[in-house]
Amino acid sequence: MLEKTEITLDELRHLISDRAIKGETVLLNMGPQHPSTHGVLRLLLELDGEVVVNCIPDIGYLHTGVEKNMEAKTYEKAAVMTDRLDYLNTIGNNLVYCLAIEELVDLDVPPRAQAIRVILTELHRIASHLVWLATHALDLAAMSVFLYCFRERELILDILEMCGGQRMMTTYFRPGGLWRDVPVEFEEAVRQFLRVFPARIAEYEALLTKNPLFLERTVGIGVLSTEDAIRWGVTGPILRASSVPHDLRKDEPYSGYELYDFDIPVETAGDTYVRYLVRMEEMRQSLRIVQQALDKLPYGPVRSNNRKFVPPPRSELGTSMEAVIHHFKLWTEGFPAPKEKVYVAVESPRGELGVYLEGDGGPKPYRVYWRTPSFANLQILPLISKGHLVADLVALIGTVDIVLGDVDR
Amino acid sequence: MNEHIQAASEALKDRFAAQVMEFRDQTSLLIPPEHILAACRLLRDEFDFNMLRGQTAVDYWPEQEPRFHMIYLLYSLPRHLRLSLRAPLNGNNPSIPTVESIYPNANWHEREVFDMFGIRFEDHTDLRRIINPFDWVGHPLRKDYPLGYEEVQFSFNYDEIDRRKPYARE
């Protein structure tokens, strides 16, 4: 069966310059086991000395076939796999998948569930930005920031564990609402975090924002112009750092984001340094959203009462025959979705995270497509890395903020 | 339907015989594949759909005409509107012109569709596999591609499964 055993230079000929053929430049492999590639990203670099002439990303090392697997599972059971895509934004993946199902079958979500969804999504956005900041700073040789960021991330993971029983892969959001209500300690834990965290952001900024070593490595590195950002379909903080004030939470509000007051940080320089500033400000804005959502958190049910899609609570099973039937039908067969298609997108920490969901009238999705921000944004790496040093490439991988699980799916 | 999307779909209906489909306020237009390049150019230049947010395909196997739908998810940044184009493709080895000249980021999205569905993109600058290894056989997201488990052999179907089992052969 296998005919080819290796890629020849001829097949990559269109991606490298003539100088590489003449032997004036060097082709060098970076990754997939390089610590600064944030996972398993392989880059084939054409180098002139230390200057990057061409950069050819090679992805797919973490491909798990999630899209194919989801086609073989019922809508609700497939939700478990969504956590595994972008493992730093698991809650956001759950959210967009649930929103897509709710759009497809027209399912309502109670206000309390929506508010809790917003709180947890924003907390997880902070957690994701903390991992980005930690690893980005670590790549630029600022070890202590890494330790501080992981200390605060732990507080958020504790909150998730309190709600869903898991630190990372919670699958806490379900079609029609949440798995269960948050525990009583939840509010105090979040308030405690809100009290602690602003001072901690100031602490990180004291370490980095005016640090000459950090400025040297980031200012003017990897500049992305507004036109290029739009042409290359970049979204998220990278787009906002290139002076486009676009955020799906404002432009296409979902889950009640229109109820909260927050700003979209925008910068104009488009380099690595302002992308850092945008993400730092986003963490502050997320805190504002969490504060407001927590202050007006409504009481009530956390899951839709539509028994055709949402299984009944355990307590009803002993007394209601109808509940038993619904329970049995939903857990054996699942619920059918119409033969239609929807595309739903949310703002993940990295950009537009979208799900294209197509039903075929049965209980399993016919096609699930994940439009993941990491995959779309990584494409600009060759563009912004040209002419920079290999050492800067490390900063650029960090600033694009990729998660390889999200890239390869 | 939003007025702007209404105008865009009317224009595409007149010029390229597009069919309009709507579901829950989301509009998608069915366009003959030979017009896809012109339709994208028209939408970008005259209707502000300046971003391609994603590209994918759906396999309707065993249906042959059309077997695939190629999907383009467009976004208008100034107006915050979405529109998706669908191009039906017939047969097992379909091809369609690339839209890389209009949206450069189609490069990777089309490579992914090529890798996963085996749809060829004419004039694509770098049509290689992207997710799967370069020596991979088959296109995993096609509906006639098995999910990858091993079928259990019993005495009544041993030979039948044995014949199509992928052993390493000479």
Reported as type and span, the H/E element at residue A231 is helix A226-231
Token pair for residue A171?
A: 């699958």
**A341: nearest CB among B23, B50, B77:** B23
Give residue-wise pLDDT tens across range A90-136. 999 999 999 999 999 989 899 999 999 999 999 999 999 999 999 99
Quote the minimal CA–CA distance from A33 to chain B in Å. Answer: 17
CATH (domain of B32): 3.30.460.80
Question: Considering the domain boundaries, does residue A87 fall inside one?
Answer: yes
**What percent of chain A clears pLDDT 90, i.e. is strictly above it?**
42
**Domain, as residue range, for A287:** 66-305+335-352
Shortest CA gap A156–chain B (Å): 31
Give the chain B residue whose CA is nearest to the CA of A360. B60
Closest residue in B to A60 (Cα) is B131
* Domain assignment of residue A317, yes or no: no
- The answer to whether position B126 is within a domain reads yes
pLDDT in tens, B25-73: 888 999 999 889 999 998 888 888 999 999 999 999 888 888 999 999 9
- Residue B84 half-sphere exposure toward CB, CA atoms < 13 A: 23
Q: Residue B105 and residue A232: Cβ atoms within 8 Å?
A: yes
Does any domain span residue B163? no
Compute the mean pLDDT over every residue in chain B, rounded to the nearest whole number: 87
- Cβ proximity of B40 and B96 under 8 Å: no
**Residue B156 located in a structural domain:** no
Two tokens, residue B78? 């100034």
B45 touches chain A (CB under 8 A): no
Neighbours of A166 (CB within 10 A): 14
Instruction: Please check whether residue B145 lies inside any domain of the structure.
Output: no
Q: Given CB atoms, is B41 within the 8 Å cutoff of chain A? A: no
pLDDT for position A1: 46
pLDDT at B170 (0 to 100): 57
Cβ–Cβ of B77/A246 closer than 8 Å? yes
- Check CB contact under 8 Å for A366 and B24: no
Q: What is this model's ipTM?
A: 0.87
- Could you read off the pLDDT of B8-28 as tens digits, one per residue? 888 888 888 888 888 888 889
- Cα–Cα distance for residue pair A6/A44, rounded to 1 Å: 15
Q: Rounded to an integer, what distance in angstroms lies between the CA atom of residue A260 and that of residue A119?
A: 11
Structural domain contains residue B153: no
CATH code where residue A251 lies: 1.10.645.10
Number of domains forming the structure of chain A: 1
Give the residue on B whose Cα is nearest the Cα of A11. Answer: B128
DSSP string for A270-300: -SHHHHHHHHHHHHHHHHHHHHHHHHT---S
Tens of pLDDT, residues A132-186: 999 998 888 888 899 999 999 999 999 999 988 888 888 899 998 898 889 999 9
How many beta-carbon pairs below 8 A join chains A and B?
98
Query: Are residues B77 and A244, on separate chains, in Cβ contact within 8 Å?
Result: yes
**What is the dihedral angle through the alpha carbons of A48, A212, A239, A349, rounded to the nearest 10 degrees?**
110
Q: Which of A233, A366, A379 sits opposite B53 (nearest CB)?
A: A233
For B54, which residue in chain A has the nearest alpha carbon?
A: A371
Report yes or no on A163 lying in a domain.
yes
If you search the block for the tokens 């075929």, which residue do you land on? A360
Answer whether B127 touches A (CB < 8 Å): no
Give me Rg for the CA atoms of chain B: 19
Alpha-carbon distance of A333 to A347, in angstroms, equals 32
Strand-pairing partners, residue A342, are A357
What average pLDDT does this structure show over A382-404? 89
**Count of structural domains, chain B:** 1
pLDDT tens profile A293-333: 999 899 989 988 888 899 888 888 889 999 999 999 888 88
Inter-chain CB proximity B73 and A371 less than 8 Å: yes
Does B159 map to a domain? no
Please give the residue of chain B at the shortest CA–CA distance from A378.
Answer: B108
Residue B146 belongs to some domain of the structure: no
Distance separating alpha carbons of residues A122 and B44, to the nearest angstrom: 33
- Would you give the end-to-end CA distance of chain A in angstroms? 26
- For residues A229 and A246, what is the distance between their CA atoms, to the nearest angstrom? 12
Residue type, A232: W
pLDDT at residue A15 tops 60: yes
Average pLDDT, chain A: 89
Best CA proximity match to A169, nearest among A116, A91, A257, A103: A91
Dump pLDDT digits (tens) for A36-69: 777 788 888 999 888 999 899 989 888 988 998 8
- Return the closest-CA partner of residue A360 out of A65, A78, A75: A75
Tell me which residue range forms the domain holding B72: 3-137
Give B131→chain A minimum CA distance, Å.
4
Q: What is the pLDDT of residue B156?
A: 87
Split at pLDDT 50, 70, 90, the class of B165 is confident
